[in-house]
Structure 1
Amino acid sequence: MRIVLFVITLASFLTPFTLSSVNVALPSIGREFGVDAITLNWIATSFLLSSAMFLVPFGRLADIKGRKRIFATGIAFFTLGSLFSALSTSAELLIAFRIFQGIGGAMIFSTGIAILTSVFPPSERGKVLGINVASVYTGLSLGPFFGGILTQNFGWRSVFLVNVPLGLLIAFLTYLKLKGEWAEARGEKFDVIGSLIYSATLISIMLGVSEFSIPLIIAGLILLVTFVLWESKVEHPVLEISLFRKNVTFTLSNLAALLNYSATFAVAFLLSLYLQYVKELTPQQAGFVLVAQPVIQAIFSPLAGWLSDRVEPRIVASTGMAINAFGLFVFSKLSETTPLNLILFNLMLMGFGFALFSSPNTNAIMSSVDRKFYGVASAILSTMRVLGQTMSMAVVMLVFAAFLGEVEITPEVYPTFIKSVQVCFIIFAILCLFGVFASLARGKVRN
């Protein structure tokens, strides 16, 4: 079981490492390609968008065909996507390869937690998921740190190239060391039509939100209704609707995850721009500041997971979300004169809040479903995360479009830029408060 934990932990490190290191590299990418803030946003968001489209279909396919098989394929896709991203000659090509990378990320996201939940007994689940969450936050920690160093000394392309040897190592270990297969739904049919409707639904809604297109959002809502009707009558649905209808813990825990990621994902993006433009820090210096939050997350996540094996997860997770809401309100007061010490302290406080929320919430979700739904449950949780991350970036796009327009960030627009950052943090703090109520309302996991 230890080798399974080691391999999944490495993979769980890889994807967030890329996400957070790319945030630090964005200003350098913008300068090389001469693109505006909204295009930079798309370089970050394209990965999330493609991941969200395929998470649930791949989760269901993993339950049927085998979680190890889908996991290994995802590592291959992600590694190739990293290589192609490093070779990009334009912002458009980079966005395209980030989409390809996101498909691999969907395979990894939808299987990792499911494999761990399949292998380890319920009494150890919180601890193991806490270790897995810690690896995610270690990736987030080292991403800004090494991303800043790599970008400053070797250029932004090195941020993608560094993933290639790590991806190859994980693929090698998966092939040689990961014995057995997990497919509790083997023999059931894969719902192709439902998967297509699902992907079309998500892409319509997410593009509609990102592009502020009412017709796309309406189309997405119509597709959503169509999807629910189809899934309710098909024999082997890609997404078991009863998981939401009859399982309050599962539904509200996923809603809490959606609100949490919607409120917090863009924090690193906004602060990266703020620190490098307004505070005039180098990419390396900005990475040193941003590393404070995920380091605290990585330290306390195993403890929070262990705690959720003994205390109701909703109590631990709700406390974490309340801390995050407070931290976001603090960041809504950012100005040109805000001390770096205050930013560091607040990032550390939010890191503690993240740790208290994530692994207990994951434990609550995976403990509330049967084994045959582990892949789908893991995929839905990952979908909430990716959808939340996309919504978080969409809020930034909307606010930037309203305040800045399609202009490069220069000293002349710094006051307007800071105002837009403050508005984003106010919106995020309110979202996080709603998440606290959703987390508290989920009910007990243990009787």
Structure 2
Amino acid sequence: MSRSATPPGIGFETAGRRSPTWVLTALSLSMLLPSLSISIANVGLPSMAAALGASFNEVQWIVIAYLLAITTLIVGVGRLGDMVGRGRLLVIGIAVFTVATLLCGLAPNLFLLIAARALQGVGAACMMALAMASVGAVVPEHRTGSAMGLLGTMSAVGTALGPSLGGMLIATFGWRAIFLAVVPIGVLALTLTLPMSADTAAGSTARRFDVLGTVLLAVTLGAYALAMTVESFGALTIGLLGVAGAGSVLFGVTESKVAFPLLTLGMLRDPVLAVGLATSTVVSAVMMTTLIVGPFHLAGALGLGPAAVGLVISAGPAVSALTGVPAGRVTDRFGSRTMVIAGLVGIIGAALTLSVMPTAAGVLGYVLPLIVCTACYATFQAANNTAIMKDVAAQQRGLVSGMLNLSRNLGLMTGASVMGAVFARAAGTRDVTTGTPAEIARGTHWAFAVAALLVGVGLAAVLGLRRRLPAT
């Protein structure tokens, strides 16, 4: 992969005539809205099921359709942004997201609501990929970590704000308000970003968009994502994983033969990119443990009520939101590689602590390691994103940003399935919702022990990379 200093006059460098603070505000909203739209919809599922006369399995597709659209398209839209102009496509993405959000709020039935959520995911994919890709052209290199920390903070703010804001809106105005209330924020983001629509192509050497490669990658990722959402491992899961495996082979063959591939597989020979993407996937999968296992442990092992469980779980995103910007500044000060290692070591330490913490330690014994874990995760994200993005050539920023976001999404989906399975198997009960406190605690301890082991593998890869590359 080509890594070079940003050449002048390409892509968002045209935004240099505007205030970097103003541009970062627009990009921050582009990160906040997609994450807010995930968490705010989750809290509304029971109300939507009752209002639309749907089962729980049916309303789950309100969430799945959104995540599937993001996962399958985020690499393709990143590449397309490199070709036609990141600013132009970002504006289109925000417009699509805002219109789709309005349609969600007005949807008369479940089918149209799911369709509108899928369209909303298309816009969200553009926003997530292109906002991060634009940082290198907006701020100087020595402030890249701070900017990445800010975008990570805004994403965490959206995740943390969703449940409380959604609950308040539903209680006051009904479930449609969780979508309609987002529309004005989308209009604001569109207004702030509209001047960027004059952005020219970002300098990509590709003259044609790889439609076949994009379709194959979308099918592959979609099949894998669906396999991770199936509740029990059976014939359907095996079939979907088979489709994903076959699709990945076909994608690799196709990309080696087309003149202008979506993804040059040789890019993954860049050790910084390969290790960064792999570690991002592993760490995201591990962090999902706190969201999947945490509620069961707090309720089943520690005996907390629903309100208290929600309060404790929200501490994670809240800490990420508070530490994102400081983590970015520390990354600028001490270097991205050093802070990647520091973040991973902190996550391992917190996970190991949770793997041996007795239930007698109470809520505090869970919350303190959780705070350390999420703060170190924010540090890792800011540093890893900086390490990957800061030296990427301008014509590849959208593509690499899409790959980075994809690695995180795949990690979250995989973690929800794999870490949930580890927890259930270690608990030794058929139904963890009725397990004894001792069974739930045993499952929690094993899940976090496996989490620590997985992050340890990622740390070993990062340390190996550090020995091979000169210090920065």
Aligned: 1:262 with 2:285: yes
Aligned: 1:238 with 2:257: no
| TM-score normalised per structure 2 | 0.81
Q: Cα distance 1:379–1:128, how it changes in 2: closer, same or farther (>3 A)?
A: same
Q: What letter is aligned with 2:148?
A: L
Structure 2 matches for 1:407-418, cutoff 5 A?
412=434
Stretch deviating more after TM superposition (130-139 or 368-377): 130-139
Aligned partner (choices 70, 79, 87) of residue 68 of structure 1: 87
Aligned: 1:363 with 2:386: yes
The corresponding residue for 2:306 is 281
The corresponding residue for 2:134 is 115
Once residues 94 and 418 of structure 1 are traced to their aligned partners in structure 2, the CA distance between those partners, rounded to angstroms, is 39
1:197-219 deviation per Cα after TM superposition (whole angstroms, max 9, x unaligned) = 11112122232343342232223
Aligned: 1:314 with 2:337: yes
The corresponding residue for 1:219 is 243
Stretch deviating more after TM superposition (367-376 or 392-401): 392-401
Q: What letter is aligned with 1:428?
A: A
Structure 2 matches for 1:297-336, cutoff 5 A?
297-331=320-354
Contact 1:314-1:442 within 8 A present in 2 as well: no
1:238-287 deviation per Cα after TM superposition (whole angstroms, max 9, x unaligned) = 11222102x101110111111111111352354456667852233xx555
Once residues 41 and 319 of structure 1 are traced to their aligned partners in structure 2, the CA distance between those partners, rounded to angstroms, is 37
Once residues 350 and 404 of structure 1 are traced to their aligned partners in structure 2, the CA distance between those partners, rounded to angstroms, is 28
Once residues 452 and 324 of structure 2 are traced to their aligned partners in structure 1, the CA distance between those partners, rounded to angstroms, is 22
Q: What letter is aligned with 1:355?
A: A
Aligned: 1:441 with 2:464: yes
Aligned partner (choices 294, 311, 330) of residue 317 of structure 2: 294
Once residues 343 and 88 of structure 2 are traced to their aligned partners in structure 1, the CA distance between those partners, rounded to angstroms, is 35
Once residues 27 and 442 of structure 1 are traced to their aligned partners in structure 2, the CA distance between those partners, rounded to angstroms, is 47
Once residues 441 and 275 of structure 2 are traced to their aligned partners in structure 1, the CA distance between those partners, rounded to angstroms, is 34
Return 5+ residue gaps in structure 2 as ranges: 1-19
Return 5+ residue gaps in structure 1 as ranges: none
Offset of residue 355 of structure 1: 1.9
Once residues 127 and 21 of structure 1 are traced to their aligned partners in structure 2, the CA distance between those partners, rounded to angstroms, is 27
Q: Cα distance 1:152–1:197, how it changes in 2: closer, same or farther (>3 A)?
A: same
Aligned partner (choices 338, 358, 373) of residue 350 of structure 1: 373
Q: What letter is aligned with 1:263?
A: V
Q: Cα distance 1:276–1:91, how it changes in 2: closer, same or farther (>3 A)?
A: farther
SS at match of 1:235: coil
**Residues matched between the structures, number:** 440
Once residues 245 and 206 of structure 2 are traced to their aligned partners in structure 1, the CA distance between those partners, rounded to angstroms, is 32
Q: RMSD of the alignment, in Å? A: 3.4
Aligned partner (choices 147, 153, 161) of residue 134 of structure 1: 153
Aligned: 1:124 with 2:143: yes
Stretch deviating more after TM superposition (72-81 or 370-379): 72-81
Q: Cα distance 1:425–1:6, how it changes in 2: closer, same or farther (>3 A)?
A: same
Offset of residue 226 of structure 1: 1.9
| TM-score normalised per structure 1 | 0.85
Q: Cα distance 1:143–1:182, how it changes in 2: closer, same or farther (>3 A)?
A: farther
The corresponding residue for 1:378 is 401
Once residues 442 and 98 of structure 1 are traced to their aligned partners in structure 2, the CA distance between those partners, rounded to angstroms, is 40
Offset of residue 232 of structure 1: 2.1
Offset of residue 343 of structure 1: 3.4
The corresponding residue for 1:395 is 418
Offset of residue 105 of structure 1: 1.4
The corresponding residue for 1:56 is 75
Q: Cα distance 1:431–1:393, how it changes in 2: closer, same or farther (>3 A)?
A: same
The corresponding residue for 1:20 is 39
Q: What letter is aligned with 2:266?
A: S
Q: Cα distance 1:274–1:34, how it changes in 2: closer, same or farther (>3 A)?
A: farther
1:59-94 deviation per Cα after TM superposition (whole angstroms, max 9, x unaligned) = 111001111122122222323343344456777665
Q: Cα distance 1:236–1:177, how it changes in 2: closer, same or farther (>3 A)?
A: closer
Q: What letter is aligned with 1:294?
A: P
Contact 2:30-2:128 within 8 A present in 1 as well: no
SS at match of 2:334: coil
Stretch deviating more after TM superposition (111-120 or 181-190): 181-190
Identity of aligned residues (%): 28
Pick the structure with greater CA Rg. Answer: 2
Contact 1:313-1:360 within 8 A present in 2 as well: yes
Structure 2 matches for 1:41-190, cutoff 5 A?
43-87=62-106, 95-176=114-195, 180-181=199-200, 183-185=202-204, 188-190=207-209
Contact 1:4-1:178 within 8 A present in 2 as well: no
Q: What letter is aligned with 2:282?
A: L
The corresponding residue for 1:5 is 24
